[in-house]
Structure 1
Amino acid sequence: MLSSTMMSRVDGKPAISGDPRMRLLGRVFDSFRRIALERFVQKHPPSRQVSPAPGELVAAYEELLPASLLELWRRKGLGLYGALPLTLIDPRVWQPVLDRWIVSPPDAVRRIPIALTPFGTLLYYRNVTPTDEDVVCIDPVSKETSVLAWSLDDFFNKNLCQQDLLAEIVNPSLVRSARKECGPLAPGEIYEVNQILFSMQMLQIVKVDALDAHRRLRDAVDAPKPVEEAPTTVADSLPGTHRSLFADVATTPGLSGLYLASHSDWHRLLALQPDGQYRLLFWRIHYQTFERIDVRGYRGAYRVSRNAEGDETVALDIVLHADSSGSDANDERLVVMHSGETTLLLREDALGNMATAIGGRDVMGDSEYYFRRVSFEDAFVDEPYDGRVAPPLADLPRVLQALIPAEPLRPTIMHVAEPNLDDEEEGEGTVMCTLDLGEDDGLRFNMPLYSPNETGRELIGWIWKMAPHACQVGIKYQRGEDGAIKHGPAVGDVLTTRSPDA
């Protein structure tokens, strides 16, 4: 029996002393206990990218945010939740954004950003008095704010879980249109609607970086004037203080030289020097002021070798530092690709995504997935956001070729689950279907699937659950006025990984 000096009970849960065994018991107890925001989690399950928040983040907000939200951070984490999806955000990253939207005197009630809707509406928490709190939103498009709930727990467990209340926060039909047009969101992304076309009753939606969109929309309120020149060459695109660091890097017949990666207004320049040392620079070019901002750099050794398939590879020794983004290490391992006079360095961790894009649409995938070889004097041009046209299959690295089927995959629907009526909105929903192909056959998580043109069907969905030979895909459906499903999947429907528009 445990000694009473080691353990007591407070509010029905163990109160843990300094004994390591008791701390372990407390963690086990905590993992099985229902959390305060359980209803929200059940209605909007966390995505696979969500993992428990670091202890220092939770500790930093212990006196500022309700215990229920901190518990959700600790037990589940930050990131995308549910099919909406709602994004739980790191307040430290988003506080400067909110402070630009709402400028307050130092003694004002503190506003803490906590979440983001799929269209970029920023939600924040206020502890108005010792007994009063609310959850408020600001729409970066309309620039309007409104109080959504007078209790954080009610907001998560009620407003986000009742369809009528949820529809007041996020337009469900617009979410469906966005997902159909652009696919599911990745962490850090939102959907952006072209407001000019929308006012003309035409819908155009794209996926954009959430932070960049807020900065851009806020800048549009009082547009800043240019403070630097728009870049015309690779050389003058760099922050001025860093140009000399790359000016002496010569292009040689081997891999030594400069490689540029651009994705929206983010840029990365990699210099591979003949002595086995590399330099890697990250920076943004503000789209209005042309300022070179968010600059950070790395340097160290690199190694050239070959993988098991015989492809030439480059490994960078990247050591992250205090102001690093965790994604900075994504460039650690690169695979070399030569096609004609073009040399690309492909991010090894993105090969699966590139294979999906090549097999489905004949493009290389997001332009952040690869570096292209450049010289200082080359014109500074925008790389296509969704990636350049893919080269011939024979020019791709063998490791990438192996991920692309010779012919598009054509899975058949073997089982259609019963639709979840609670998730239907205005007669539309998503139903889970089991396929006769799986991960071992070449399907990948989040891979889009379409109806082949010759079937006359217009089904579209994304792989949601992985299995060796029977993945599950979420397929859209619609009901007619009589309540019967008119446009939905059926057993025997054939799908393909090839986009009908490719």
Structure 2
Amino acid sequence: MFGRIRLHAFVKANPPQGERIPATAELLARHADRLPAALLELWRKHGFGLYGRRQISLIDPDLWQPVLDRWIVSPPDGALRVPIALTPFGTLLFYRRLTATDEDVATLNPVTRSSSVLSWDLAECFNRVLSDPAQVDEFIRPDMLEVAAREAGPLAPGEVYHVDPMLLSMQMLKITRADALALHRDLRAQVDREQMPPAPPAASIAAAMPASHRAAFAAFEADDAAAHPRGLFLSVYIDWRRLLAFDGEGRYRLLFWKNDHKTGEALEVRHYEGPYRVQQTAAGDRLLELDIALRRDSLGSDANDERLYLMRSGGQALLLKADSLEDMATAIGGRGSLGRSEDYFRAVRLGDPLPDEDSDGMAAPPFDDLPAALQALVHREPLRTTIVEVAADTGDADDETLMVRVDLGSSSGLRMNMPLMSPKGSGRDLYGWVWEMDEARCGVGIEVERDAAGRIVGGPQVGDVLVSRAD
């Protein structure tokens, strides 16, 4: 064949870049009846690879057909769809034969999961849309391409740039180079996962935990209140599980994991073991101290279980995190619960069902059962405060809180995030939390309601009384 190829305008505007992958005679023959001759001619002349400064990639449809077929499932008699190109950010271009005489070139963005039509004619798509900067820049933004090349470097054949959508939603930009096929497969797998029903609840703690650790922890199934406790203790908070085992002779095991809510699989498993000791405090509490040596794969919070108070209430053994006693005291006073379920462990056996723990925590045990260290932080009588200052209203209709100051501070027992509310029978219905600490006058954020004009209705006033427990 002599003279210009039919897609000469595309090649002129987007000269082939870097390494070329030739189209074999067998591949050309396989697609002779499926794709326009102009595209086959381009393959034959210049091959697969990157084209132009916008790094449009012509792709082997045999490699990409399974990917496209996972994204778009067509009935046997549906329109023919053949993947033909990629943008540098992973948008897939595919050819569709709609009827014997009608065709188009459409796009599929794997990140936004959206599709659109670029052109109703393949030659027009290549020679005009992909060759006209004013048109191609609409979906291959030159500013983003410049940033990507600067941050991640130039693309190699088979690569695309991937913009992290989670960080982008927080107005942060993170761009990496990725294998194009692997990225599409992973993004499609995410769609499949989202469509899966939730995994059924595990039949037991043993069924939920990593199988490789069951035998080791099963050897600890006993609960002994001797000087060195023996047994298993579990903490469940949202999708995290922590299982503690004591052998009664000064050795512990601590297992972290989470269960995938779609498959039930135990993930992000971390395991520690080492010595522990029990000491009797001056106030009569029993304090367990674990020697937790963090590793490279550790989270910093893994060491938060190093000091635990052992207590019993109603025949149940509990372990309370020493560093969380103030939060527990606040929860006990404010809502009668023990606080976040991540702050304590319950005695369990592996055959027990995995508890569906309320993240706000179990009901607080009786005051006299609490460790003395926690009793000292709990106000048996509610704290009573008076509002002495109310901040000016900004008039922002989206602002659901108003800051006030009260006549008590940290020196009187107020703590960060401690709830404060109107006393029962006061005729007021104020509720808020301590947000700003001060020795004498803490700041409290009070929830407010607004009318249609944005004015606060029934808001806090100087002289209003707030208590740490409404009962």
Structure 2 equivalent of residue 441 of structure 1: 412
Once residues 478 and 326 of structure 1 are traced to their aligned partners in structure 2, the CA distance between those partners, rounded to angstroms, is 40
Distance apart, 1:234 and its partner CA: 2.6
Structure 1 equivalent of residue 33 of structure 2: none
Q: Identify if the C-alpha distance between structure 1 residues 349 and 219 changes in structure 2 by more than 3 Å, giving closer, same or farther.
A: farther
Question: Is contact 1:256-1:271 (8 Å) kept?
Answer: yes
Distance apart, 1:295 and its partner CA: 0.5
- For the pair 1:416 / 2:390, whether they are aligned, the reply is yes
Question: Is contact 2:385-2:465 (8 Å) kept?
Answer: yes
Q: How does 1:72-151 map to 2 (within 5 A)?
A: 107-112=159-164, 115=167, 123-125=171-173
Q: String of CA shifts for 1:22-63, please: whole Å, max 9, x gaps.
A: xxxxxxxxxxxxxxxxxxxxxxxxxxxxxxxxxxxxxxxxxx
Distance apart, 1:313 and its partner CA: 0.6
Question: Is contact 1:109-1:126 (8 Å) kept?
Answer: no
Distance apart, 1:286 and its partner CA: 1.6
Q: String of CA shifts for 1:416-470, please: whole Å, max 9, x gaps.
A: 232345xx225x5533211111112111112222222312222222211111221
Once residues 301 and 381 of structure 1 are traced to their aligned partners in structure 2, the CA distance between those partners, rounded to angstroms, is 28
- For the pair 1:243 / 2:295, whether they are aligned, the reply is no
Picking from 443, 447, 461, the partner of 1:472 is 443
Question: Is contact 2:111-2:165 (8 Å) kept?
Answer: no
Q: Identify if the C-alpha distance between structure 1 residues 218 and 360 changes in structure 2 by more than 3 Å, giving closer, same or farther.
A: farther
> What secondary structure is seen at the aligned counterpart in 1 of 2:312?
strand
- For the pair 1:387 / 2:344, whether they are aligned, the reply is no
**Residue identity matched to 1:261:** S
Structure 1 equivalent of residue 429 of structure 2: 458
> What secondary structure is seen at the aligned counterpart in 1 of 2:215?
helix
> What secondary structure is seen at the aligned counterpart in 1 of 2:216?
helix
Structure 2 equivalent of residue 280 of structure 1: 254
> What secondary structure is seen at the aligned counterpart in 2 of 1:336?
strand
Structure 1 equivalent of residue 397 of structure 2: 425
> What secondary structure is seen at the aligned counterpart in 2 of 1:495?
strand
Structure 1 equivalent of residue 337 of structure 2: 363
Q: Identify if the C-alpha distance between structure 1 residues 406 and 127 changes in structure 2 by more than 3 Å, giving closer, same or farther.
A: closer
**Residue identity matched to 1:373:** A
Q: How does 1:323-334 map to 2 (within 5 A)?
A: 323-334=297-308
Q: String of CA shifts for 1:120-167, please: whole Å, max 9, x gaps.
A: x65552669xxxxxxxxxxxxxxxxxxxxxxxxxxxxxxxxxxxxxxx
- For the pair 1:302 / 2:276, whether they are aligned, the reply is yes
Question: Is contact 1:412-1:494 (8 Å) kept?
Answer: yes
Question: Is contact 2:167-2:173 (8 Å) kept?
Answer: no
Once residues 381 and 483 of structure 1 are traced to their aligned partners in structure 2, the CA distance between those partners, rounded to angstroms, is 44
Question: Is contact 2:424-2:470 (8 Å) kept?
Answer: no
Once residues 236 and 115 of structure 1 are traced to their aligned partners in structure 2, the CA distance between those partners, rounded to angstroms, is 35
Q: How does 1:8-19 map to 2 (within 5 A)?
A: none
Structure 1 equivalent of residue 465 of structure 2: 494
**Residue identity matched to 2:376:** A
**Residue identity matched to 1:455:** S
TM-score, normalized by length of structure 2?
0.59
**Residue identity matched to 2:397:** E
Question: Is contact 1:304-1:312 (8 Å) kept?
Answer: yes
Structure 2 equivalent of residue 222 of structure 1: 195
Distance apart, 1:349 and its partner CA: 1.2
Distance apart, 1:289 and its partner CA: 0.9
Structure 1 equivalent of residue 309 of structure 2: 335
Structure 1 runs not aligned, ≥5 long: 1-98, 129-216
Q: Identify if the C-alpha distance between structure 1 residues 243 and 101 changes in structure 2 by more than 3 Å, giving closer, same or farther.
A: farther
> What secondary structure is seen at the aligned counterpart in 1 of 2:161?
coil
Question: Is contact 2:234-2:242 (8 Å) kept?
Answer: yes
Question: Is contact 2:334-2:418 (8 Å) kept?
Answer: no
Determine which structure has more spread, i.e. the larger CA radius of gyration. Answer: 2
Once residues 244 and 491 of structure 1 are traced to their aligned partners in structure 2, the CA distance between those partners, rounded to angstroms, is 62
**Residue identity matched to 1:439:** S
Distance apart, 1:101 and its partner CA: 5.8
Once residues 321 and 101 of structure 1 are traced to their aligned partners in structure 2, the CA distance between those partners, rounded to angstroms, is 35
Question: Is contact 1:432-1:474 (8 Å) kept?
Answer: yes
Once residues 403 and 350 of structure 1 are traced to their aligned partners in structure 2, the CA distance between those partners, rounded to angstroms, is 11
Once residues 453 and 194 of structure 2 are traced to their aligned partners in structure 1, the CA distance between those partners, rounded to angstroms, is 48
Once residues 306 and 219 of structure 1 are traced to their aligned partners in structure 2, the CA distance between those partners, rounded to angstroms, is 54
**Residue identity matched to 2:423:** P
Once residues 368 and 342 of structure 1 are traced to their aligned partners in structure 2, the CA distance between those partners, rounded to angstroms, is 17
CA RMSD across the alignment = 3.1
Question: Is contact 2:208-2:264 (8 Å) kept?
Answer: no
Identity level (%): 45
Structure 2 runs not aligned, ≥5 long: 1-108, 114-154, 177-189
- For the pair 1:372 / 2:343, whether they are aligned, the reply is no
Picking from 370, 377, 394, the partner of 1:403 is 377
Distance apart, 1:225 and its partner CA: 8.4
Question: Is contact 1:113-1:124 (8 Å) kept?
Answer: no
Picking from 295, 306, 317, the partner of 1:321 is 295
TM-score, normalized by length of structure 1?
0.56
Structure 1 equivalent of residue 58 of structure 2: none
Once residues 166 and 175 of structure 2 are traced to their aligned partners in structure 1, the CA distance between those partners, rounded to angstroms, is 13
Distance apart, 1:350 and its partner CA: 1.2
Question: Is contact 2:402-2:446 (8 Å) kept?
Answer: yes
Q: String of CA shifts for 1:64-105, please: whole Å, max 9, x gaps.
A: xxxxxxxxxxxxxxxxxxxxxxxxxxxxxxxxxxx9966999
> What secondary structure is seen at the aligned counterpart in 1 of 2:160?
coil
Once residues 218 and 498 of structure 1 are traced to their aligned partners in structure 2, the CA distance between those partners, rounded to angstroms, is 46
Q: Identify if the C-alpha distance between structure 1 residues 302 and 113 changes in structure 2 by more than 3 Å, giving closer, same or farther.
A: farther
Distance apart, 1:351 and its partner CA: 1.0
Structure 2 equivalent of residue 351 of structure 1: 325
Question: Is contact 1:247-1:376 (8 Å) kept?
Answer: yes
Distance apart, 1:253 and its partner CA: 3.9
Distance apart, 1:485 and its partner CA: 4.4
- For the pair 1:292 / 2:340, whether they are aligned, the reply is no
Question: Is contact 2:294-2:303 (8 Å) kept?
Answer: yes
Q: Identify if the C-alpha distance between structure 1 residues 219 and 278 changes in structure 2 by more than 3 Å, giving closer, same or farther.
A: farther
Q: String of CA shifts for 1:216-247, please: whole Å, max 9, x gaps.
A: x9676331786xx8532232322111111112
Q: Identify if the C-alpha distance between structure 1 residues 100 and 391 changes in structure 2 by more than 3 Å, giving closer, same or farther.
A: farther
Once residues 310 and 446 of structure 1 are traced to their aligned partners in structure 2, the CA distance between those partners, rounded to angstroms, is 29
Structure 1 equivalent of residue 182 of structure 2: none
Question: Is contact 1:335-1:348 (8 Å) kept?
Answer: yes
Structure 1 equivalent of residue 243 of structure 2: 269
> What secondary structure is seen at the aligned counterpart in 1 of 2:425?
helix
